[in-house]
Amino acid sequence: MTHDPVPDLLKHAVEDLRQRFAYLPGHESAIDQSAIQHVLDMAAQRLADNYPYFHPLYAGQMLKPPHPVARAAYGLAMTINPNNHARDGGRASSEMEVEAVGEIAAMFGWTEFLGHLTSSGTLANLEALWIAGQLAAGKRGNARILGSEQAHYTHHRISGVLRLEYASVPADGSGRMALEALEEELRKGDVGTVVVTLGTTGIGAVDPLDEILALRERYGFRVHVDAAYGGYFGLIAGELSEPARRAYAAIGQADSIVIDPHKHGLQPYGCGCVLFRDPAVGRFYKHDSPYTYFTSKELHSHPGEHPPQRTPAAGPVHLGEISLECSRAGAAAVALWSTQKLLPLIPDGEFARGLACGRRAALELHRRLRSDPRFETMIAGTADGPELDIVVWKVKADSLEKASALAQELFDRCAEKQLHLALVQLPHSWFGSRAGIQNGSRNLGEQVTCLRSVLMKPEHETWLGEIWTRLTAAATEL
Ligand SMILES: *Cc1c(COP(=O)(O)O)cnc(C)c1O
């Protein structure tokens, strides 16, 4: 591990904050430092049992190390441990949340909206579909949810929790929602919401949002964009394929958007975000908790205003009034706010450049895999390569069983060389040669185990040569 700057950064900031509370009488309580140190050493020993997620040779699952500023800001906030449920529990951090969420919304072109942080993308999607269900309530038989078969698996479960019917729409050979199949479902006349994924978790496919919005004109349904993983790529849309660019350009027309700062936004876990285009959906969150500390009249008029106005009549925004969850980590908001101060969410900024590095690494890995006879890449990728920064490939073999077994073996052999990849089950029909598909010789339903690499760290670009060296050395041993 390289030197970690966070402890020094944190020490300075914690001391600064401590001084600001110096007006209070001392209240030192005795702690046994050596006992704590001992337990921490035990914890460090246990934590060594992990893949090295922080290292560029970890190129497997969707795991991106939080930025040092996020870790330090989170740690700083932990000296206070604010709760962003309400102002009483997290005064400064609630304001910071409103500001940070406003910056995320601005990235999608929204200035008037309703939104807040959540503890995860799953919770954020739950809120979006809950609101969708609330809006459809009373219109019986009109609340069905659709998502592509490559949509995140939790949408089906969330719909179950909400007692909303859910159906899967087939994906095309690029992993994008198939429009004809979607329209077939829409013709049934009972669809309330279509979940459109900008950046599927498996392969990073971008559903054709612009074309789905055109269908909304005709059939009338809600569009929920799940951009938990892919949301930030709108900042580098110019570097994406034409269809993906069009999808990102249309994102502001969605009814709701979910994005996970803890996926690509350099945050520690516990940071999702949900946004609604119509602030009036805030009415569904009304509750009569006896612990409700403030009632915000601002809530329904200008929730995007940051910082919120503190007029005595209106009172400040109370995030617990617009969130399904009660207690939420104020520290998550402080970390996000600080990260966006250092790395603003703007095209051509340092944050956007980091995304572009990972994407270039993915394109380069794809290029090398495609020209290696041992491997097969996806044949119908819209840009003839990964849409975002996820690369998937299959090991060539005479049968699916053998290809799957070889993928597993390659995965293990790479791990022995400290190159950590991931595995994914994908339709066999997505791989091989175009001729194979044209001959109709494929069983479309069959799945095959493939290798998957999420190249989401900026350093993956400079490490790609090393990654390739280890990968091909491992493949030679198969
Ligand atoms: C990761 C992900 C989710 C789930 O988010 P969590 O933060 O893991 O709960 C939902 N949708 C997509 C597209 C994702 O990539």
CATH code of the domain covering residue 266: 3.40.640.10
Among 300, 315, 342, residue at a domain's last position? 342
Position 297 scores a pLDDT of 44
Based on the fold, state whether residues 387 and 459 are members of the same structural domain.
yes
Position 317 scores a pLDDT of 56
Whether 197 is in the pocket of ligand 1, judged by its Cβ within 6 Å, is yes
Q: Dig out the tokens for 106 from the structure.
A: 């601005």
Based on the fold, state whether residues 409 and 439 are members of the same structural domain.
yes
Based on the fold, state whether residues 438 and 389 are members of the same structural domain.
yes
Residue range of the domain that includes 402: 350-475
Convert the pLDDT of each residue in 176-222 to its tens digit: 999 999 999 999 999 999 999 999 999 999 999 999 999 999 999 99
Q: What is the pTM of this model?
A: 0.93
List helix spans (H) across 78-152. 91-107, 121-136
Residue 304 falls inside a structural domain: yes
Residue 19 falls inside a structural domain: no
What's the helix, strand, coil split of the chain in %, to 5? 45, 15, 40
Residue 162 falls inside a structural domain: yes
Distance 146 CA to ligand 1 centre (A): 17
Residue 39 falls inside a structural domain: no
Convert the pLDDT of each residue in 59-97 to its tens digit: 999 999 999 999 999 999 999 999 999 888 999 999 999
Residue 31 falls inside a structural domain: no
Based on the fold, state whether residues 139 and 284 are members of the same structural domain.
yes
Residue 280 falls inside a structural domain: yes
Nearest-angstrom CA–CA distance, 421 and 62: 10
With bands split at pLDDT 50, 70 and 90, how would you rate the model's confidence at 288? low
Based on the fold, state whether residues 104 and 249 are members of the same structural domain.
yes
Based on the fold, state whether residues 200 and 234 are members of the same structural domain.
yes
Nearest-angstrom CA–CA distance, 287 and 152: 30
Among 342, 366, 395, residue at a domain's last position? 342
Distance 418 CA to ligand 1 centre (A): 27
Based on the fold, state whether residues 163 and 263 are members of the same structural domain.
yes
Whether 229 is in the pocket of ligand 1, judged by its Cβ within 6 Å, is yes
Q: Which of 122, 161, 207, 209 to mutate to test the pocket of ligand 1 (most atoms within 8 A of CB)?
A: 122
Q: How many domains does the chain have?
A: 2
Among 320, 342, 364, residue at a domain's last position? 342
Position 289 scores a pLDDT of 66
First to last CA, the chain: 30
Residue 64 falls inside a structural domain: no
Residue 22 falls inside a structural domain: no
Based on the fold, state whether residues 235 and 258 are members of the same structural domain.
yes
- Closest ligand 1 atom number to CA of residue 122: 9
Average pLDDT over residues 234-258: 97
Based on the fold, state whether residues 329 and 372 are members of the same structural domain.
no
Based on the fold, state whether residues 329 and 370 are members of the same structural domain.
no
Distance 407 CA to ligand 1 centre (A): 25
Whether 120 is in the pocket of ligand 1, judged by its Cβ within 6 Å, is yes
Which has the higher per-residue pLDDT, 13 or 441?
13
Question: Which residues lie closer than 8 Å to 140 by C-beta, 6 or more apart?
Answer: none
Convert the pLDDT of each residue in 230-244 to its tens digit: 999 999 999 999 999
Based on the fold, state whether residues 303 and 398 are members of the same structural domain.
no
Based on the fold, state whether residues 241 and 95 are members of the same structural domain.
yes
With bands split at pLDDT 50, 70 and 90, how would you rate the model's confidence at 437? very low
